[in-house]
Amino acid sequence: MKLKILSVIAITTFSFSMFAQKQVEVNLKLRDGSIVSGTSSISDISLVTDFGKLIIPTKNVSSIKVGIPGDKAVYDKAKSYLSQLGNSNEELKKGAYEELVKLGIKAIPAVSDFINDPKNTIEYSGEYTPDNALNELKSNGNVDDFTDGKDIIDIDGQYTIGGNYEFSKLDVKTEYGNLSIPKEKIKSIDVMFINTDGANELNFKLLASKNISSNTNGGWLKTGVMLKTGQRFSITATGEVVIASLSNQKYHPDGSYESATGEKYPTTTDEYSSTTTYPSYGNVVYKIGETSTSTLKAGAKFNGTAASSGMLYISIYETVYNASNTGSYSVKVSLK
């Protein structure tokens, strides 16, 4: 009996640690066009896909594109109202139509399925039709034709996967107070993981095919490292990348490179003295804060202090992005 009790305790402890909430910075785009920024606590994401359930660590989530939330009770109600739209009684049709529209965004899947069902051979006429109901539901809920029925999770800015991420609302702490925002009001969530494990060193990989400073679609890698003004930190990097936009030359983090014919060119600045913050091609670069316009050189070895507070982002410097780039840099960030 004691062994069974200990097993239950162990399983409970594992489950708690696995799904413990993580502190993140979030930037929400709402369906009405509003933007909400702040901090929130999110557990590792349990995503139900067509191939089974996945547990995605919060720290690996870059963004969440919220699909149309499902609700079985709403779905069943919508089907009931839809069945009445073929009635010859105009008042009955009007009442069913109005009740259907009141169900809101959650009724969209039911209406879409109903319209696309080949078994539905009824020809509708007049104002109170399934197609008009669908258009009104989308208009009222600010849902465009490109909205997916599934929630789309972007992982590490490199992979996406769709499924059902079950949550009813998201609690966000903003500078103006705490907000509790229903899922159906949210269009997308940008997630920035806040590292709180106390680790002094963290390792990252910059992919030349993705993490280029001029790539506007995920070119900057968010490290999850939150810096404070004046805090000392260091960045060291090794590796080799081939940059297609620069005649397929091989570059290293310090800016040295080798031409396609094999001729080698050393770096033109002293990485250890940090004589300039302006980067050269192939350098590892950093910025503090997602919206910062400062692209600062780290190179192969950097030691310095944070000029501002915010999350640390890193990338490979090049003014033109080409997805044909190959290779990667291994980057270590150390906090003082």
Cα–Cα distance, 84 to 89 (Å, whole number): 9
**pLDDT on residue 268:** 56
Q: Is the pLDDT of residue 274 over 70?
A: no
**pLDDT on residue 278:** 85
What sign does the CA torsion over 52, 72, 68, 176 have?
negative
Q: Is the pLDDT of residue 14 over 70?
A: no
Q: Indicate the DSSP class of residue 289.
A: S
Mean pLDDT value across the chain: 86
Q: Tell me the DSSP string of 64-115.
A: EE--PPP-HHHHHHHHHHHTTTT-S-HHHHHHHHHHHHHTGGGGHHHHHHHH
How does residue 15 score in pLDDT terms, banded at 50, 70 and 90?
Answer: very low
The pair of structure tokens assigned to 78 is 């919508």
**pLDDT on residue 138:** 93
**What integer is the mean pLDDT of 15-27?**
66
**pLDDT on residue 190:** 85
**What integer is the mean pLDDT of 205-220?**
93
What does the pLDDT look like over 36-69, one tens digit per residue?
A: 988 899 889 999 999 999 999 988 888 899 999 8
Q: Tell me the DSSP string of 120-133.
A: --PPP-SS--HHHH
**pLDDT on residue 329:** 95
**SS3 category, 63:** strand
The fraction of the chain above a pLDDT of 90, given in percent, is 61
Angstrom distances, CA of residue 178 to CA of 37, 47, 94, 170, 193? 11, 26, 40, 10, 19
**What integer is the mean pLDDT of 280-301?**
93
Angstrom distances, CA of residue 294 to CA of 172, 237, 278? 28, 20, 10
Which residue is associated with the tokens 């050269």?
280
Q: Is the pLDDT of residue 34 over 90?
A: yes
Q: Is the pLDDT of residue 192 over 50?
A: yes
Which residue is associated with the tokens 């509003």?
34
What does the pLDDT look like over 149-191, one tens digit per residue?
A: 899 998 876 678 999 998 999 999 998 999 999 999 999 998 8
**What integer is the mean pLDDT of 23-28?**
85
The fraction of the chain above a pLDDT of 70, given in percent, is 88
How does residue 130 score in pLDDT terms, banded at 50, 70 and 90?
Answer: very high
Q: Is the pLDDT of residue 1 over 60?
A: no
268 vs 138, more confident: 138
Q: Is the pLDDT of residue 197 over 90?
A: no
Q: Indicate the DSSP class of residue 16.
A: H
How does residue 196 score in pLDDT terms, banded at 50, 70 and 90?
Answer: low
Q: Is the pLDDT of residue 272 over 80?
A: no
Q: Could you say which architecture CATH assigns to the domain 201-335?
A: Sandwich (2.60)
- Which residue spans of the chain are classified as CATH 2.60.120.430? 201-335
How does residue 198 score in pLDDT terms, banded at 50, 70 and 90?
Answer: low
**pLDDT on residue 27:** 86
**pLDDT on residue 21:** 78
Q: Which of 318, 288, 54 is nearest to 166 (CA)?
A: 54
**pLDDT on residue 210:** 92
**pLDDT on residue 7:** 38
301 vs 61, more confident: 301
